[in-house]
Amino acid sequence: MTDLLHVDLTRATVTREPLSAELEPLGGHGLTSAIVNQEVNPEADPLGPGNVLVIAPGIFAGTSVPNGGRLSVGGKSPLTGGIKEANSGGSAARALAELGLRGLKVTGQAEELSVLVVTADGGTLVPAPELTGLGSFATVDKLWAQYGDKVSLICCGPAGEMGARASAVLVTTSDHYMRAAARGGLGAVMGSKKLKAIVVDGAGGPGVTVADPVALKAASKALATGIHSHPAMAALEALGSAFLVNVTQSIGCLATKNFSAGTWESAPAITGERMVEIISSRPNGAVKHSCMKGCIINCSQVYTDDAGEVITSGVEFETIGLMGSNCHIDDLDAIARLDHLCDDLGLDTMDIGAGMGVAMEGGLLEWGDGAGAFAMLAKLTEGDENARMLADGCVATGKRLGVARVPAVKGQSFAAYDPRVLKGTGTTYITSPQGADHTCGNALPSPANPSYDAGSPEGQAQMSEFLQCYFAAIDSLGMCLFATLPALDMPELQAEFVKAAAAITGRELGEDYLIKMGDQIIRQERDFNRRAGFTEKDDRPPAFIAEEPVLPSGNRYDVPEADLDAMFTS
Give the residues across from 310 on adjacent strands: 304
Assess whether the previous peptide bond of 411 is cis (omega < 30° from 0): no
Assess whether the previous peptide bond of 407 is cis (omega < 30° from 0): no
pLDDT given at position 448: 83
pLDDT given at position 447: 86
pLDDT of 1 > 60? The answer is no
At 156-183, the pLDDT tens digits run 999 999 999 999 999 999 999 999 999 9
Its sign, for the CA torsion 255, 394, 535, 49, is positive
17-54 in b/e burial notation, b at 16+ Cβ within 10 A?
Answer: eebeeebbbbbbbbbbbbbbbeebebeeebbeebbbbb
At 383-427, the pLDDT tens digits run 999 999 999 999 999 999 999 999 999 999 999 999 999 999 999
Average pLDDT over residues 127-149: 98
The edge-to-edge listing of strands for the beta sheet with 310-312 is: 286-289, 300-304, 310-312
**Mean per-residue pLDDT of the chain:** 97
In a domain, 257, yes or no: no
The number of folded domains in the chain is 1
Range of the domain at 7: 3-200
pLDDT given at position 277: 98
**In contact, 440 and 481? CB cutoff 8 Å:** no
At 513-561, the pLDDT tens digits run 999 999 999 999 999 999 999 999 999 999 999 999 999 999 999 999 9
> Domain containing 73 — which CATH number?
3.60.9.10
How far apart, in whole angstroms, are the C-alpha atoms of residue 472 and residue 273? 31
At 441-467, the pLDDT tens digits run 999 998 888 999 999 999 999 999 999
Give how far Cα 260 sits from Cα of 157, 358, 359, 397, Å. 32, 11, 14, 17
pLDDT of 2 > 90? The answer is no
How far apart, in whole angstroms, are the C-alpha atoms of residue 38 and residue 4? 15
In a domain, 512, yes or no: no
**In contact, 233 and 227? CB cutoff 8 Å:** yes
At 324-345, the pLDDT tens digits run 999 999 999 999 999 999 999 9
In a domain, 141, yes or no: yes
Average pLDDT over residues 89-118: 98
At 195-249, the pLDDT tens digits run 999 999 999 999 999 999 999 999 999 999 999 999 999 999 999 999 999 999 9
Give how far Cα 145 sits from Cα of 142, 219, 266, 505, Å. 5, 39, 44, 37
Residue 133: CB atoms within 10 Å: 13
pLDDT of 287 > 80? The answer is yes
In a domain, 39, yes or no: yes
In a domain, 407, yes or no: no
Give how far Cα 534 sits from Cα of 93, 185, 337, Å. 32, 18, 37
- Taking the whole predicted model, whether its pTM rises above 0.95 is answered as yes
Average pLDDT over residues 54-72: 98
In a domain, 92, yes or no: yes
CA proximity to 105, closest of 2, 161, 32: 32
In a domain, 54, yes or no: yes
At 259-269, the pLDDT tens digits run 999 999 999 99
In a domain, 418, yes or no: no
What is the percent of the chain with per-residue pLDDT over 70, rounded to a whole number?
A: 100
